[in-house]
Structure 1
């Protein structure tokens, strides 16, 4: 009897874990929040003067989420000079295996070519520049100090003062918010970098480098940043990717962090394998106030900004697209992300033929997009064409992708989804863990017409369209928060491809989303600081697992942030007035405490997007220092069977209980 009871307990535990695994992207948030909790305990032990806060981060009073900022990756990930390419080439020529190496494949690392182990990527973050005065002339150690930005220090050079509109390079005068001290260094090293490292280690696999990773010393990675002698002798043990981290002020007030790859195999003409070294910089001005005013939501945003930048350093960059390889180890016949010109007709009936879109159409990205959007004629995932240098080309298009880690403008909702993981897999350099990805909800199952462009007809979905020049309110398209929408007159005609109304001067407020009008968040449901003003009668809760839902009460309409989850059979459940209710379909409603909450339509958080089997896998290529043992098909099996495994375990448990009763 005791043995049976023990088995029952084990099965209950397994089922509980499996159900939780299917609920709302817990893994990454759990990693981030664990690092935040450790940070809070560390700050308390240092007796720093902190504002009052609860130990439970979900109950903290936190500041308003920071405004979105422009990623400037393409401004720093520039084409290396011929001299730099030759320096990289010489490094790898010196380390190549001479036997059997062809003339055009002579850039292989000796350690890589001997690789016989596939495993989670090992990232070596070098934070020696965080130490006191270790980054003189570039980092701030005192108020009023003048440092050089975007060029090597030259005391004789005449440079303009840095500002958002100034030329680059420039000279920056340090303020109190720019000072690099031990508290700032500890925050970035132990908490922000710690969380980024743990997330990437769990998600990314490579052909591990055997022995020490050996790089050339004194190789420039960024302005005033050169590889130290130790990377050449004795080299770096247990390292697949070496990262030099800095804490320097940035020219732009909107830049929180930036990163790029700077060492990669090449033959002097093009890149022949994944990056093996890079840099990442965090701008101190964003983090100084956080130390004395810690906040869970802000910490999540900071961490995801750093994660966003590091994905660029892995190779999500227009610079690397031409070097991506397919399953046969060959570069794609058509470079991913190339511009395609298209024609159309404006709502006023004016034809145009100068529309431009950049489609990323590698195999796994294509498979994911077709399944996600429910569109078999899907042409590929568009890359951003707005925002100028630094944003366009190396990010997903906001109109089509909406809320994702690799958008060019950061926002509180930044899930790392199978879309970005598909791109990394299709680079030919990485294996990825699809089953731990967060959900992409924007545009999910909305079809080809929605995917091709925004019109009053094609975007006739909740949160997706408005036509009034007065502000109207409603839940945002992904229900991440309470939103608002309006159209504005720009006083002149928009570009034909961005015209969505008969009046060519009208458009939505977001130019990055091609002026498509939609309900953008004015208040996020994950912002715990709003809990003090929550509607307690309906049980409103601001948390990581809350979404926005409409309700009616006494003939009045409103919105509330309500907790949600998925049942073991993947049915959406919403908590209203303290009780959980199921939403089996969009025609159902929840009635509780005088409130009526309609079950949402076109909202699919409990349905996984299964990536169909493709003809490509992530077999390592001979010229790439990485590989993967994870194929789309194997990932599909684990995802699609999760529901049935839960049901099978439940059935077995019931049989055992009945046996005990008999």
Structure 2
């Protein structure tokens, strides 16, 4: 190694230090703009596994197995799933319908509630603290998937050949058998529902590891010491219908596991159901007081995998994964059978009130307020979250869904107040995993939550008590939330170019759903209480998701449009007309919004209208996504995750400054 004389060293050191300082300061300047990508935490985890999925599909095609998975030449009259503008069609969650068919066994003897000390270690973990595995008792949840029924044609309800007869449920007990071809819920398998080993490998090697990765990033538990041994919960030790849990789980158990999930891939009794899940083993104490679920069943409907395999794009893959996460969350405890068994995380004891409750509320209408019965969750972390999120200190709950009947109402968030969240009963392409649902899981007393990993909930953010109470032209005056007639607009969270759809119905809407003087007029979405709001409706007008990179094919080059996870919808005027565009955005270190219009980054101050080549951008009054900065995700290299900037410092700048100091010290010592 070349050694410098003292004279050359003393002469070169200032130049070297200045050069390095200049270089690093340039790097700092380059990083002063922090592009927030609000879905990037989970999206990065999913994207990592999407690459595995894409390789899997390529291998299937090269080996010839792809054509064998679905017999497109079949003439049995089966109908393929039709994607709607490249996205999944409407999704119908059947969780509560399935749970009502389960017959819980009574405990053989009366058991006391678990003592408080069982929860003490968990409760010591701060909500925002990443639980380290060095703690022998508390750590990221360990999920073990039992995929026995994915292989060797072992599932008695699986479709393995066209024309095969299977039974939905237990011959129709509590199940809608409208799809059955014969009495007693007998169903005839169609070609597009045939399960193959290749499909089983796809679920086992790609879908399930992604679900495990996501939950282990968010959830920690008091880990099971030794083997996880299950207790009898349902009659005949049945999990899902005709899935009897093997006896060794109740006798010997399984090591290094906090919850075991039994996986199937069989047709479902609702053609709109992509997946289903249920908790199938949990402790039962006095008076039907339940403990944390230790086993669950998840079923994937093979019917829905053909469009994914035929169209293996990343955005569609994310939709499938998030549906699986939605269902698994039900099995973890987001289910109305568990609410009254929740334990207050601050005490380890049962709440002194029912965590879920019904109450009389007042809904605003043009003719005055009307009384309506609603239901909600009122646990501490949920209440704290909604008060801060909506900027409404008087809120006492988050509402539960009241639409959709037995399958949806009660075990999902109310769509009007949440809009885009993965635990809505009506899943859509954009459904983030937010602090709202994680607050509920924390309030169960069963989980410690790593809140630094949550995705921002943007729907209704900071819009106040009147916005939460109901939709009127005044309370819902923010962009995308209300219109008196059909109107193109950016969606409320700016993830897409949408349209407010207002329709005239055949009869008067219920009093609490009337938002116009004419009682027959209402929005398109009954799950959102017929409130009119801008939504991306596939194949409708100019609607498109800005966050879907596949839409880049329709990007308008004349205005420099861009589609991707770091794109949002913004309004603009040009040549006297107004419209919407999908543009790349970034947030500066001081939380200012910048938008890339053509090749120019413009700083978009609230209410201003910067102009680029005749394009006048209408800057939003509030772009709350810039409240969140990004920091590295441990174990995922240079990937990022959003955190509230008020509680953290931009780690990229911190790391650069530390590097600056380290290198400065190094050169001083040379």
TM-score by length of 2: 0.82
Q: Which residue of 2 aligns with 1:478?
A: 493
Q: Which residue of 2 aligns with 1:120?
A: 140
State the SS of the aligned residue for 2:315: helix
> Quick check: 1:317 aligned with 2:332?
no
**Which residues of 2 match residues 249-328 of structure 1 at below 5 A?**
249-326=267-344, 327-328=346-347
> Quick check: 1:361 aligned with 2:361?
no
Q: Is the 8 A contact 1:111 1:210 kept in 2?
A: no
Q: Which residue of 1 aligns with 2:454?
A: 437
- Counterpart of 1:330 (choices 314, 336, 349) is 349
Q: Which residue of 1 aligns with 2:616?
A: 596
Distance of 2:296 and 2:116 partners within structure 1: 18
Change in CA separation of 1:386 and 1:542 when aligned onto 2, cut-off 3 Å: same
1:332-364 CA deviation, whole Å, 9 max, x = no partner?
222122111134563134x643x0121211111
1:548-573 CA deviation, whole Å, 9 max, x = no partner?
11111211211111112222333222
Q: Is the 8 A contact 1:62 1:297 kept in 2?
A: no
> Quick check: 1:149 aligned with 2:168?
yes
Q: Is the 8 A contact 1:211 1:238 kept in 2?
A: yes
**Residue 121 (structure 1) shift:** 0.2
Q: Which residue of 1 aligns with 2:59?
A: 45
**Residue 533 (structure 1) shift:** 1.8
Distance of 1:556 and 1:639 partners within structure 2: 37
Distance of 2:173 and 2:412 partners within structure 1: 35
**Which residues of 2 match residues 70-469 of structure 1 at below 5 A?**
70-78=92-100, 80-81=102-103, 84-86=104-106, 89-90=107-108, 104-105=112-113, 117-136=137-156, 138-151=157-170, 162-163=177-178, 170-215=185-230, 219-326=237-344, 327-343=346-362, 346-349=365-368, 352-353=370-371, 355-468=372-485
Q: Which residue of 1 aligns with 2:648?
A: 642
Distance of 1:141 and 1:397 partners within structure 2: 39
State the SS of the aligned residue for 1:325: coil
Distance of 1:459 and 1:328 partners within structure 2: 39
Distance of 2:46 and 2:277 partners within structure 1: 20
Distance of 1:180 and 1:404 partners within structure 2: 31
Q: Which residue of 1 aligns with 2:632?
A: none
**Residue 159 (structure 1) shift:** 13
Decide which moves more: 65-74 or 197-206. Answer: 65-74
Q: Is the 8 A contact 1:111 1:212 kept in 2?
A: no
Q: Is the 8 A contact 2:491 2:535 kept in 1?
A: yes
**Residue 590 (structure 1) shift:** 3.1
Q: Is the 8 A contact 2:433 2:455 kept in 1?
A: yes
State the SS of the aligned residue for 2:201: helix
State the SS of the aligned residue for 1:226: coil
TM-score by length of 1: 0.83
Q: Is the 8 A contact 1:589 1:599 kept in 2?
A: yes
Q: Which residue of 1 aligns with 2:73?
A: none
**Residue 580 (structure 1) shift:** 2.5
**Residue 489 (structure 1) shift:** 1.9
Q: Is the 8 A contact 1:15 1:650 kept in 2?
A: no
Distance of 1:39 and 1:109 partners within structure 2: 43
Q: Is the 8 A contact 1:365 1:380 kept in 2?
A: yes
Distance of 2:438 and 2:95 partners within structure 1: 19
Change in CA separation of 1:279 and 1:43 when aligned onto 2, cut-off 3 Å: same
Decide which moves more: 27-36 or 104-113. Answer: 104-113
State the SS of the aligned residue for 2:43: helix
Q: Is the 8 A contact 1:24 1:565 kept in 2?
A: no
Distance of 2:262 and 2:628 partners within structure 1: 37
**Residue 241 (structure 1) shift:** 0.2
Change in CA separation of 1:73 and 1:300 when aligned onto 2, cut-off 3 Å: same
Distance of 2:116 and 2:102 partners within structure 1: 19
State the SS of the aligned residue for 1:225: coil
State the SS of the aligned residue for 1:41: helix
Q: Is the 8 A contact 1:467 1:486 kept in 2?
A: no
Distance of 1:169 and 1:323 partners within structure 2: 35
Distance of 1:409 and 1:330 partners within structure 2: 33
State the SS of the aligned residue for 1:64: coil
**Residue 191 (structure 1) shift:** 1.4
- Counterpart of 1:571 (choices 592, 598, 606) is 592
> Quick check: 1:529 aligned with 2:550?
yes
Q: Is the 8 A contact 2:490 2:496 kept in 1?
A: yes
Distance of 2:120 and 2:258 partners within structure 1: 9
State the SS of the aligned residue for 2:96: helix
Distance of 2:401 and 2:482 partners within structure 1: 21
1:603-624 CA deviation, whole Å, 9 max, x = no partner?
3111149xxxxxxxxxxxxxxx
Change in CA separation of 1:17 and 1:313 when aligned onto 2, cut-off 3 Å: farther
Change in CA separation of 1:178 and 1:637 when aligned onto 2, cut-off 3 Å: closer
Change in CA separation of 1:519 and 1:111 when aligned onto 2, cut-off 3 Å: closer
Change in CA separation of 1:335 and 1:18 when aligned onto 2, cut-off 3 Å: farther
- Unaligned 5+ residue runs, structure 2? 1-12, 68-82, 123-134, 538-543, 630-640
RMSD between aligned alpha carbons?
Answer: 3.7
1:465-504 CA deviation, whole Å, 9 max, x = no partner?
0112xx3111111111111113222232211111111222
Distance of 1:15 and 1:436 partners within structure 2: 26
Q: Is the 8 A contact 2:90 2:427 kept in 1?
A: yes
**Residue 18 (structure 1) shift:** 10
Distance of 1:202 and 1:369 partners within structure 2: 23
Change in CA separation of 1:462 and 1:134 when aligned onto 2, cut-off 3 Å: same
Q: Which residue of 2 aligns with 1:616?
A: none
Distance of 2:114 and 2:145 partners within structure 1: 28
**Residue 279 (structure 1) shift:** 0.3
Q: Is the 8 A contact 1:159 1:169 kept in 2?
A: no
Q: Is the 8 A contact 2:37 2:565 kept in 1?
A: no
Q: Which residue of 2 aligns with 1:623?
A: none
Q: Is the 8 A contact 1:336 1:361 kept in 2?
A: yes
Q: Which residue of 1 aligns with 2:87?
A: 65
**Residue 529 (structure 1) shift:** 3.0
> Quick check: 1:553 aligned with 2:567?
no
Dislocated runs of 4+, deviation >4 Å: 1-22, 48-51, 106-116, 157-162, 164-169, 635-639, 644-662
Change in CA separation of 1:486 and 1:63 when aligned onto 2, cut-off 3 Å: closer
**Residue 4 (structure 1) shift:** 10
- Unaligned 5+ residue runs, structure 1? 52-60, 94-101, 610-634
Change in CA separation of 1:71 and 1:529 when aligned onto 2, cut-off 3 Å: same
